[in-house]
Amino acid sequence: MPRSPASESSRADAERALLERLAMGAVSGDRLAVELGLTRAAVWKRIDALKRPIELEVDGGINAETAKAAIAAGADVLVAGTATFTGGAAQYAGNIARLRAA
């Protein structure tokens, strides 16, 4: 079924709003959904439809065990502050090595 000019316009407006928000900096899918009045699934579909390379970042709860699952789920970037800095400076290198081994 062909799209009407009105639906093309609203789609273009939604994509423009998404791109403008992404240009402002990193933002979670949940936050995008709330700000754009969409579901998380709709946000992902719109991002996918743009056919532009993106990096999926996971922040929160990442450690040597959860890193594998996040990567398997498609994460490109992991934020692992607690896992990195636990134990003080003497532990940083080992903590990072365990994360990288995931």
Name the domain count of the chain.
2
pTM above 0.75, yes or no: no
Pair (64, 90) in one structural domain? yes
Q: Are 90 and 70 found together in one domain?
A: yes
Same domain, residue pair 30 and 67: no
How far apart, in whole angstroms, are the C-alpha atoms of residue 83 and residue 70?
A: 14
pLDDT, tens digit, 9 for 90 and up, residues 53-65: 778 888 889 999 9
Domain range holding 28? 5-50
| 63, 26: one domain | no
Q: Are residues 19 and 36 in the same domain?
A: yes
Whether residue 3 is predicted with pLDDT greater than 70 in this model: the reply is: no
Phi and psi at residue 9, in whole multiples of 5°? Answer: -65, -45
Q: What is the structure's pLDDT at 42?
A: 86
Whether residues 44 and 69 share a domain: the answer is: no
Burial (CB < 10 A; 0-12, 13-18, 19+), residue 33, is middle
For residues 62 and 34, membership in a common domain is answered with no
